[in-house]
Structures are given as structure tokens and as C-alpha cells.
């Protein structure tokens, strides 16, 4: 790591909160104090990494990620509950998704325990950046990528697993529900591609359509499947749900006939979709307090905030026993 203006990790007990205007918090990059870094050579396994001051990453110009897109990301959140605890929501599921993606992109990966431990360490090392209850969350971004140089043939000599975090507010700003453009030209994923894993290669190729849709005032895009162009897939960074439709292939017509539609994601949480526009024609759906989406959002947030009991074992609480100082 390069030297940083911040020469030592901030003590988590220095002060309770960082100097952030919490009421103005959006969903964007914000530099925090510390990050986690672990490296792994080809043919070896990831060992315990370490917390270092947040700083630029140094990688080879010829690295696998810069030249061939070998990278994955994850996203999860730390919540400050109303009774003062700090909790995560099902972090083991993010670890398993990262492992699945690493297999798809030919990379070694951290164990579930290493992953969850790294996430906990990053949260505690940036504790004062966790927004007050109800004002936002600490978004945690683990990335795994080929950092060693490669030209021509495999293997990649080195991999890096890094975790950093940013305080965030709402991802979608449209409180009255999202207005989507159904994309009828660009596709996002295709059979046997990388649509099933959180590969970085799934994102930049569809920025062009997101930018076009946003320029026209839409909240987000809804992609159709590449094989037929007829079935509903997902939004840019969230899943789509149609109330009363089971998990199955969903033709656009079924979506247009729906009463209520919403999307879910770590960033999006549960967000009502107010309309979709397909080939210039706008179709509207139910919005407001009476929607299933509103109830789901309230229940999920109640679980995150510790207001209702977690009966599923989804909440992982961070305690002094997970303090980085004790583990490093």
C-alpha cells in the first residue's frame, strides 16, 4: 500500500461519529479510514489479510483485471440498530456468491469465515462511519481480482481480495416509486455467460443504456433476456418482483398486466416500481403505503434495525470479540 495521509488506523473508540452531514447522505463514494487487503499467489490459498489505512491499490499495468476483466464484487451493509448494536445481514450468503463467481472466473477465493471476518474487521475499523439509525447504512464492498501480470496464456500469478466501505443513503431517489425503461435493444446476460455471478464484466457493458435511460428521466432500466428478447430479467443492480407471480419465466406481457411490481437488492432494499415504459408506451402500477413492497420494506428494515426479532438467524452482530485488534 502507498503511504496515506492517515498514517495509522483510526481507533474505533476515538469518537462516535465521523464528520458527515448524515441528512444529506446519498448513494455514492465516500472515502473512509481503513480497508482490508489479502493477497494470494497462484496455486496457494488465501491467508488472513490485514487492515490498512484506506489508500490507492497498486497493481501491475499488465494485471488480469485491467487487461481481461478478471474481477468480482460483492455488496452488503452494516446497520446500527436503535439499541446501539452493529449488525450484518446474512454475510455468509455474500461469501458463497463470491466463491461461485470465483470458480466461474478461474480465481482462488477466501473461505466463508475469512470473508465474514474481513467484513467485520472493516466495519469495526470504520465504526464511526456507520450512520445513526434511520439515517443510512455502511455499504461494504468486497472485491476479488487478478492483480498479477498476464499476457497471453494462464495462469495469473497473483490475486487480491480487498474490502472497503462507504456510508450510504438511499440508492433510488424516487420516493414515489421507480419509472423504468424496458430496454429493447441492449441485453445484459446470455445463457452460459456470467449473468449468474457478480462479475465486473456484467456492469460496464450496460452503462450505455442506463445513461441513455437516465438522460430521458427514467429511474432505471429493466432488461429482457438475450435469447428471446421477450422475458423479463432484472434492473441494472436489483431483482424484479411481480406480486402474485411465482418464480418462473416472465414474458413482458405478464409484467404489463401486473397490479404491483417492485425491485430488491442490497442497495435498492425493497423499492416500488411506479411504471415501466416499453417501446414508448408507459404502463403504471400500484404505489403507496398499501403495497406489499411497503410492508416488506418495513419488515426488513425492522429486522435490520433490531425493532423486531430475527427468527431466521439472518442477523450477525459485531461484538468486542470481533474487534480487529484482537484478531490481528
Residues 202/189, Cβ–Cβ less than 8 Å: yes
Residue of 15, 62, 239, 259 that binds a copy of itself (CB under 8 A): 62
Residue 35 binds a copy of itself, judged by CB under 8 A: yes
Residue with the three cell numbers 498514517: 7
All residues at 6 or more sequence positions from 281 whose CB lies less than 8 Å from its CB, including other chains: none
Q: Residue 317: how many CB atoms within 10 A of its CB? A: 13
- Strand-pair partners of 144: 72, 161
Q: Is 132 in the site for a copy of itself (CB under 8 A)?
A: no
Q: Which of 29, 48, 113, 288 binds a copy of itself (CB under 8 A)?
A: 29
CB 271 within 8 A of CB 178: yes
Binding mask 165-204 for a copy of itself (x = CB under 8 A): -x-x--x-------------xxx--xxxxx----xxxxxx
- Residues 69-98 touching a copy of itself, rule: CB under 8 A, are 69-71, 73
Asked if 216 touches a copy of itself (CB under 8 A), the answer is no
* In the complex, minimum distance from the CB of residue 238 to a copy of itself, in angstroms, rounded to a whole number: 12
Judge whether 167 and 70 are in contact, CB under 8 Å: no
Closest approach of Cβ 309 to a copy of itself, in Å? Answer: 32
Binding status of residue 288 toward a copy of itself by CB under 8 A: no
Distance CA 103, CA 72 (A): 11
- Stated as kind and residue range, the H or E segment containing 139 is strand 137-146
Which residue among 42, 50, 135, 214 contacts a copy of itself (CB under 8 A)?
214
User: Is-contact 53 8, C-beta < 8 A?
Assistant: yes
- The one-character DSSP state at 222 is E
Contact footprint for a copy of itself (CB under 8 A):
2, 26-29, 35, 54, 56-62, 64-71, 73, 104-106, 139, 141, 143, 145-146, 149-154, 162, 164, 166, 168, 171, 185-187, 190-194, 199-205, 207-208, 210-211, 214, 226-227, 267
Amino acid at each position: 500500500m502507498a503511504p496515506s495521509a492517515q498514517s495509522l488506523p483510526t481507533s474505533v473508540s476515538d469518537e462516535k461519529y465521523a464528520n458527515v452531514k448524515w441528512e444529506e447522505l446519498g448513494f455514492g463514494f465516500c472515502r473512509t479510514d481503513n480497508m482490508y487487503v489479502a493477497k494470494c499467489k497462484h496455486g496457494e490459498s488465501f491467508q488472513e489479510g490485514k487492515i490498512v489505512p484506506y489508500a490507492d491499490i497498486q497493481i501491475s499495468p499488465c494485471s488480469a483485471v485491467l487487461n481481461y476483466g478478471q474481477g468480482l464484487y460483492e455488496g452488503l451493509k452494516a446497520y446500527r440498530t436503535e439499541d446501539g448494536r452493529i449488525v450484518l445481514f446474512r454475510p455468509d450468503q455474500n461469501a458463497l456468491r463470491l466463491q461461485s463467481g470465483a470458480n466461474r472466473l478461474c480465481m482462488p477465493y477466501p473461505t466463508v469465515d475469512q470473508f465474514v471476518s474481513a467484513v467485520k474487521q472493516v466495519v469495526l475499523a470504520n465504526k464511526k462511519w456507520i450512520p445513526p439509525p434511520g439515517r443510512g447504512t455502511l455499504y461494504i464492498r468486497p472485491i476479488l481480482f487478478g492483480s498479477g501480470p498476464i499476457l497471453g496464456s494462464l495462469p495469473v500469478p497473483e490475486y487480491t481480495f480487498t474490502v472497503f466501505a462507504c456510508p450510504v443513503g438511499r440508492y433510488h431517489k424516487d420516493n414515489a416509486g421507480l419509472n423504468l425503461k424496458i430496454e429493447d435493444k441492449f441485453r445484459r446476460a446470455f445463457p452460459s455467460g456470467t449473468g449468474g455471478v457478480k462479475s465486473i464484466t456484467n456492469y460496464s457493458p450496460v452503462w450505455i443504456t442506463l445513461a441513455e435511460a437516465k438522460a430521458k428521466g427514467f429511474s432505471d432500466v429493466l432488461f429482457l433476456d438475450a435469447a428471446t428478447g421477450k422475458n423479463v430479467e432484472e434492473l441494472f443492480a436489483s431483482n424484479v418482483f411481480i406480486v402474485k407471480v411465482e418464480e418462473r419465466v416472465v414474458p413482458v406481457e405478464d409484467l404489463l398486466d401486473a397490479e404491483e411490481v417492485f425491485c430488491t437488492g442490497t442497495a435498492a432494499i425493497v423499492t416500488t416500481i411506479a411504471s415501466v415504459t416499453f417501446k414508448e408506451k408507459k404502463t403504471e402500477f400500484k404505489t403507496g403505503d398499501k403495497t406489499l413492497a411497503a410492508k416488506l420494506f418495513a419488515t426488513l428494515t425492522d429486522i435490520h434495525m433490531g425493532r423486531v426479532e430475527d427468527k431466521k438467524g439472518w442477523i450477525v452482530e459485531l461484538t468486542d470479540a470481533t474487534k480487529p485488534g484482537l484478531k490481528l
